[in-house]
């Protein structure tokens, strides 16, 4: 069964449940909470992300994001989720699977994520990554998931390690982050790797 065919069936489940978080696709009604969380976290996020556009937090820009997410899902090339705290229902961040490759790559993909500053350090993103990876392997049939982070991003490296990813090397000038091409550490997890013991 192709990943594209499987992705179309994910809409039946509104949420993917983790221990601490709940994942679901973003919708138009999330705009105000998303805008506030991203705006409040701008200085916290800027060192780790591509440069923000001048209209980054506008409602129009958010609608464009939703259209891109929907198109990627239709094409079988990506899935985007917002991350919510199960206890409070608050939006805490986002995570996505993108660049889905099929055929000889046997359903490989890239993982990305962001966390609002006031929710960082609580184990929520580790739980979100573990939850999404398990969903991708167990329900969607993925074989391999990759991730990359800046060497200086200690928190992100910790998330990936706790979630069962293995360091595989360094890619020079891999992504343009905060306006500069920067080296990244490469990580991956493969179906059948040991399941992490999730501690918070």
CATH code matching the domain that covers 3-190, chosen among 3.40.50.10860, 1.20.1730.10, 3.40.630.30, 3.40.50.410: 3.40.630.30
Compute the distance between CA of residue 127 and CA of residue 81 in angstroms, rounded to an integer.
Answer: 13
In angstroms, the first-to-last Cα distance of the chain is 35
Phi, psi (deg, nearest 5) at residue 142: -70, 155
| Mean pLDDT rounded to a whole number for the chain | 89
pTM for the structure as a whole? 0.89
pLDDT band at 155 (very low <50, low <70, confident <90, very high): very high
Residue range 176-189, pLDDT digits in tens: 888 889 999 999 99
Positive/negative CA dihedral, 135, 139, 140, 146: positive
Higher pLDDT among residues 174 and 5, named by residue:
174
3-state secondary structure of 193: coil
């Amino acid at each position: 069964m192709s990943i594209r065919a499987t992705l179309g069936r994910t809409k039946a489940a509104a949420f993917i449940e983790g221990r601490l978080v709940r994942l679901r696709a973003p919708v138009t009604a999330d705009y105000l909470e998303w805008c506030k969380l991203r705006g409040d976290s701008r200085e916290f996020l800027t060192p780790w992300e591509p440069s923000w556009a001048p209209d980054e937090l506008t409602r129009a820009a958010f609608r464009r994001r939703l259209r891109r997410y929907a198109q990627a899902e239709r094409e079988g090339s990506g899935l985007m989720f917002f991350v919510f705290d199960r206890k409070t229902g608050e939006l805490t961040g986002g995570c996505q699977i993108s660049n889905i490759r099929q055929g000889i790559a046997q359903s490989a993909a890239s993982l990305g994520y962001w966390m609002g500053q006031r929710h960082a350090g609580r184990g929520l993103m580790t739980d979100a990554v573990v939850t999404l990876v398990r969903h991708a392997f167990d329900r969607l049939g993925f074989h391999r998931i990759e991730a990359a982070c800046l060497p200086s991003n200690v928190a992100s490296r910790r998330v990936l390690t706790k979630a069962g990813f293995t360091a595989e090397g360094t890619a020079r000038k891999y992504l343009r982050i905060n306006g500069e091409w920067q080296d990244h550490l490469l990580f991956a997890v493969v179906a059948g790797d040991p399941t992490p013991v999730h501690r918070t």
